[in-house]
Amino acid sequence: MLNALSAGSRAEVDDLLARVLAGGGKPWLPTQVHGSMHGTSFTDPDGNVWKTLWTDPSVPQ
């Protein structure tokens, strides 16, 4: 199962990843930047996979 969270900013995505890693989580995939989207992924200490994503609303799709 993959859990996904939507963030309010790019900084929030990066901050959440930093806090998870400091709390015992592990990176899952490299940070991904695709145009207006910025996302990270990690596993929590129990091994569950999480993904966080922010989409810049000022960039046309």
The mean pLDDT value for 5-21 works out to 95
Q: What is the pLDDT of residue 59?
A: 77
Alpha carbon separation from 39 to 14, 20, 59 (Å, rounded):
8, 14, 16
Q: What is the pLDDT of residue 30?
A: 95
The 10s digit of each residue's pLDDT in 31-61 is: 999 889 999 999 998 999 999 999 988 877 6
Could you tell me the pTM of the whole model? 0.85
Which CATH superfamily is 2-55 part of?
2,3-Dihydroxybiphenyl 1,2-Dioxygenase, domain 1 (3.10.180.10)
Q: What is the pLDDT of residue 11?
A: 96
The mean pLDDT value for 3-28 works out to 95
> Which residue is associated with the tokens 């999480």?
50
